[in-house]
Each structure stands twice: as C-alpha cells, then as structure tokens.
Amino acid sequence: MSYCFNLHCQQPQNPKDVSFCQTCGSKLLLREHYQGIKPIGNGSFGRTLLAVDLDRFNAPCVIKQFSPHNHNLLSTKKASELFKREAKQLLKLGEHPQIPTFYAYFEEDENLYLVEELITGRNLLQELEAEGAFSEQKIWKILYEILPLLKFIHEEQVIHRDIKPENILRINGAKSQEVGERKKYQLVLIDFGVSKLRSEINSHTTGTITGTLGYAPIEQIRGGKAYPASDLYSLGMTCIHLLTEVPPNQLFDSFSGELIWRSHLTKKGEKISSRLEKILDKLVKDLVKERYQSATELLIEIALVSTKNGNQNPQSSKLNLLEKNSLEKSQKYQNNPQKQSHLNVIVQAEIEAWKNKKNLVELGDYRQRKRSRNNGDSYRPVIEKPSYNNYFQYNSKFLDNVIEFEQKKANFVPTKTKIRNYLELSQLWKTVQIIKDNTAVVNSIAIDPQGFVLVSGSDDKKIRLWNLQTGQLLHKLLGHSAKVCGIAISADGRRIISAGDDRTILVWNLQKKTIADRFYSYSGSPYSHRDGAIFSVAISPNGETVASGSADQTIKIWNQRNGELLYKLHEHLERVFCVTYSKVNKICTEQNDHQIFASCSADATIKIWQVGCCQSLRTLRGHFGAVYSVAFSFDGEAIASGGADKTVKLWNVCTGELVNTFRGHSRAVLSVAMSPDGQLLASGSLDGTVKLWNLQSGRLLDSLCGYHPVQFSPDGKTLVSGGAEGRMLIWRL
C-alpha cells in the first residue's frame, strides 16, 4: 500500500503502483523516491509515518511531517524551530550506533519533512510497564550504554535536554542483524528536537524552558539553562523511576523538598548496593556544582571503584585503568579550553568527519567500523559487531589523537610526504618557487587578472602580496584582528576583499595598500557576520556584489560599491565553507543577466544561487560529509566540489546531475580549482598531495606534493598550492 501525505485526505490508503492519490489527487512520492506506508504517530503539529526509500532498494525509514496550518503564529514558529533544530542536531552528531541516522530535511507543499533511520524496538517506559521494576543489574547496563553516548554528544557541544524513559529505545533483539552495528539489546537515544548547542544555551540571556517535568533539573525549569550535568540529572531520575516504578513527580516530599525514592524501594522489599545509591544521589543533586560535571567524570569514578574492588561487578571489567587514564586525559582537555592550541576550523571539522564517518555499501544497510593504524596516516575498513569495549577504545584513541594534534600544532604531514623532495614528485609540473615568509598556515590565495600578483591570507592575521613570477614579497597588509580565511580580487585588479575569524570583511585599495571600506551587518555593529567566522568571500565578475559565507550558517550578498547588505540567505543547516561566482550564467531564468554563484557547507550540500533571488535555484547532494570547496568551470557549465569523504565531484550546473567522481585522495579535500581552458581540475587535500585530473575522462594525470589552497593563474600555465609549515608552492607546466 501507498499512504497519502495530504493531512486532509479522507481515504489516504492507495494501491502500491499508483502515482497519485485516488481520493485527493496528491502526489504519493516525496521528492520522487520516499513512499509512505502507514502512520505510526500523531501530534498537534504533524505526524510520523513509516516509509520506504525507493532509491535505496525500498529501505525502510521514518518520515516526520510537520504541518504549520491551523495554529497561531507564535506556537507555529516555535514548533517549526524545534523541528528544524532536530534535523540540525542529527546532522551534527553524524553517524553513531546509538542515534538515529539523519537522511534528509526538506520542504514540500508547505510542509516540512525530516527523514531518519527506522529503529524497531520499544522504549524503556513501555518495558517498565510490561516487565515491572528494573533490577540493579539492568540499571548498571543502562549506565554502561548511555554514559559513553552522553560523553559523545557533550563533546560535540550538544545538550539533549529531554532524557527520559520514553526517549530511550531498546532495539528489538530479533531485528539486531538488520541494523548493522547495533548489537543485541543496544539502547538508542531519540528525540533531539529540544536539544541545543551549549553556546546557545549558556549565554547571558534566559533560555527557553524545556524538558519534561520531573526529569528536567531545576536550572532548566526555572531559567532555561542546561549543562552536561543537566543531562546527567535526567539520566539519574530515569534510573530512579525504572528502579522504583514510581514517576518522578511522585518521588518528591512536598514538605522537605527532598527525593524520597529509597522509601519506595523499601516498601517493595528491594535493596540496591551502596555504590549505586551513591552514584544516583550525586546524579540528582539540586545544585549543578554538586553533581557529576560530565559523563567522563562518572565513567572515571566507575573505573576507579571497579579496580579497587577487584572488578566485583562483571560489567565493571569493561572499564580498566588504561581506559580510565585515557578518560582523565580527555577530561583535562575538555576542562581547560583556554590552554588548547588553536586548530584550523576546517581541520576540526575534518576530524569530526573522521570520527563520525559513514561508509555506505551499495546494497547493504550495515556500517563499517574504521580502526586506525600507523598513527592515523592510513586506514583499513573492518566489518565487525562492535562490543562496548571496542567502541569505547575507539573513541579513546580518537581523543588521544586529537590531543596529540593540539600539542603538535596540527602537523598533518604524512610520513611518506615528509621524506620526498618537492622537486622530484611530478613528471609534468615542476616547482619554480617555494615561497615562505613565516610558519603561519596559509588559508586562502588569489591571483590578479593579469597574473602578476599573488595574494595570500594567513593564520597570523596578515595579507601578503607576492610577485608571482619571482616569488618576491611585495607588501604586507595589516587590518584583521584574527586569522584571515578568505581572499578575493576584483576583476579590474584594483580591490582586494578579505575576511576571517574576526567576523569582518575588509575592502583594500590595491594601489594605495590601504583599507578602503568595511562591511557592517547593520548600523552600529562592528561585524560583518555577528555570530561566526567568515570562511570565504567572492566578488562577482561584474564587480557589483560580494558574497560571503560564514560559520553562522548564512550567506550574505553585499553591494561592493558602498558596503550595503543586500540579502541574507539562510538555507544551509551548517557552516558555509565556500562561496564562488560563475563568470557565465548558463542557467535559464527569468533574469538571465543576473550573476550565478554557488555555496557549499558542512551540511553536505552544494547550492546554486542567483543574485536577486532569496531562494536557491538548485541543491546538489552526493557527498558524505562536509563539502569544503566549490569551483565553476570558466564556461559556467560545470562545477567541481571537494569534501570530507575524500572525493572530488563534477556536476552539471544546468541539470544538477553528478557527472563524475574523482577518487584518489586519502584525506579530506579542502580546495578545488579548474584551469581556464577547461581541461584540468586541481584538488588540494590534507593527505599532503595536490592532484591534477583530466576533466573529460576523470583520469589522474599528476600528483604533486602540497596542500590546500590551490589556484590556477589566468593563463592556466601556473598552479599555486599550499605547502607544509606556511609555504606556498608555485608550479609551472
């Protein structure tokens, strides 16, 4: 059967082989490949349906449908915000065996849709009602499965804010083989609709009151604040409810204001160990400072007590001293953010992608666990049924690597690359200059239209002008108060646009070597983007507009002449890493003379835009993970993209069709560029190589020793790339 998505349809059931509802005439397929089967839940703002994805061999999935009709504006806006937030949080948390996998978020026919993985099983409240009070052993198992999960989401700076028995599912054991990594009786955390980033919650302003009464701690109920300790409080109340079989709102003594859960255990004739009592008492303290401050802290205590007691509890053997030491290192790292070295934001995102990486097999629904070897320089996929031990050790090793990267200033040069000479790698392209002024990482480069001046922006807050022919340093521009991430040169070569971590866009007069203008988000603001670093800027070929992409998930279009903010575009669900204009408009629109530009984001999408329109013309999907760079061909017919999935992809601009995928890099691809003649595609990666591809055949032509960024000169005979320790390499054919 095929179920109609029209909420007002009187007879939504239809035969499987029809395309339109036989009752109301509505389309039965969402986005031409999601087919509804039956509703499995309803709410005031929509419903949840069981569905299948026809593009994935009828794989089952869950579709949440949000309908804003018939509600007042304020409640609809808030509900819509929570619905969109759930999609963002599922995307941010990536692939984790205890969190539903996010598939898609989109709008169709004035309804919002969120598509996620189908998980079969029952929640812990249903289990409590069916089987009665939980034993101490079952409570320990819940702690051992949920604490590492909370450790993971808190490290991603996400607070769930609504942990309760209804939001913890136990996978149906009979279905365990169908869910790949999820082992038998694995617990899964759902409903991230009210979850939020720590930076959004713990601001100076009062937050929105969220959570479920009885499970939510006092700081959430009274002030809308939340911390990792808040989720731990909710976990503690969940365990107490499951132990006592008494709802939390009946466990408080109204006279003393204290929890009286022990008396309910006594009435039942049940008794638990003093060790578990102590842990539960500390989890549900009224004052935040008196609770466990993190899941890591509690895991360390469990490991320490287990070791001292000779691992009396069989489950406790899963946490040994080696894991405790690793956790302590992680805890020290988290508690002292001011002592951390500064990692490039893109490198951090690449590490996140490495941690949460999803490798889909064409005809399978299972996932591959990746283990590192050779100190993280290479990987081999291992398909296995992970135990708690495997999962825990995997994350611990990852954290050790992150700490090591921080301590060593993120030196990502692979061993093979270190011992090879720049001049001996390429058979076709030769380095003619190795430029180095200091050791600051070069984040962005641009070449003037005449091919004489090379401009670079670096971590040391400086913009440098170089003679592209000789490699001589011509000038340093000082004006930014943080690292410079984006550089662009106007078509007439007279102006430079720069942006960076200080959230400002500066306009430079290239002849006078002075600041000519600053772009402000609104009158009185010192910033161009108020809420995040600016990763990329681009100038339209006609010189009229400037586009900027930011960590605040927005794109802004500015009037280049007076700095006026023309549009603010907010379709991406995550950080916008790159924006770039096409020199030629090949998309047929009503305003065909308007400029076309593209953007890419950590939400794994590429969007095509037209200046003057507030909605994207097309969205390109195909990367698994963040997309870091996009570049148009000079004829405007194709666009290339590079991402965290180690691939470079080529797309048809007019149709949005994926034309080719270039595979060869072993780390994230952070920069792509196309030669002016349309024959070559260059890609720069964290694996220490710059690869040159034939655009027509997709064949790898050459592999150079270098890094992002990459840029061709206007004549196509010179290629500039980043190098190790702040170098820039100039290659000539």
Cβ(538)–Cβ(579) below 8 Å? yes
Cβ(149)–Cβ(97) below 8 Å? no
Give DSSP secondary structure letters for 588-652: --TTTTS-EEEEEETTSEEEEEETT-SS-SEEEE--SS-EEEEEE-TTSSEEEEEETTSEEEEEE
Give the three-class secondary structure for 28.
Answer: coil
Which structure tokens are listed for 517?
């203008």
Tell me the backbone φ, ψ of residue 506, rounded to 5 degrees: -110, 145
CA 498/CA 504 separation, integer angstroms: 8
Which structure tokens are listed for 363?
């005809």
HEC secondary structure over 572-586: CCCCEEEEEECCCCC
Rounded alpha-carbon distances, angstroms, from residue 651 to 34, 88, 647, 660, 695: 24, 25, 13, 7, 11
Question: Of 66, 68, 2, 80, which Cα lies nearest the Cα of 34?
Answer: 2
CA 95/CA 212 separation, integer angstroms: 27
Rounded alpha-carbon distances, angstroms, from residue 39 to 22, 46, 378, 379, 530: 18, 11, 45, 42, 42
> What is residue 439's DSSP assignment?
S
Catalytic residue chosen out of the listed positions 162, 501, 603, 687: 162
How crowded is residue 666: how many other Cβ atoms within 10 Å of its Cβ?
A: 14
For this structure, is 281 an active site residue? no
Query: For 175-246, where are the alpha helices, taking DSSP H only?
Result: 198-201, 218-223, 228-244
Which structure tokens are listed for 33?
């490949």
Question: Of 170, 162, 231, 228, which Cα lies nearest the Cα of 192?
Answer: 162
Rounded alpha-carbon distances, angstroms, from residue 348 to 40, 378, 601: 39, 18, 14
How big is the chain by its Cα radius of gyration, in Å?
A: 27
Give DSSP secondary structure letters for 8-26: T-S--EE-TT-SB-TTT--
Which structure tokens are listed for 384?
């296995």
Owner of token pair 């609809």: 76
Cβ(546)–Cβ(488) below 8 Å? yes
Rounded alpha-carbon distances, angstroms, from residue 373 to 330, 376, 595: 21, 6, 47
> What is residue 303's DSSP assignment?
H
Pairing of strands 484-489, 158-159: unpaired
Cβ(608)–Cβ(630) below 8 Å? no
Q: CA triplet 700, 701, 707: central angle to 5 degrees?
A: 80
Which structure tokens are listed for 52?
């299948």
Cβ(673)–Cβ(650) below 8 Å? no
Give DSSP secondary structure letters for 409-431: T-----HHHHTS-GGGS-SS-EE
Q: Is 628 left (phi over 0), alpha (psi -120 to 50) or beta?
A: alpha
Tell me the backbone φ, ψ of residue 366, rounded to 5 degrees: -85, 170
CA 486/CA 445 separation, integer angstroms: 8
Catalytic residues: 162
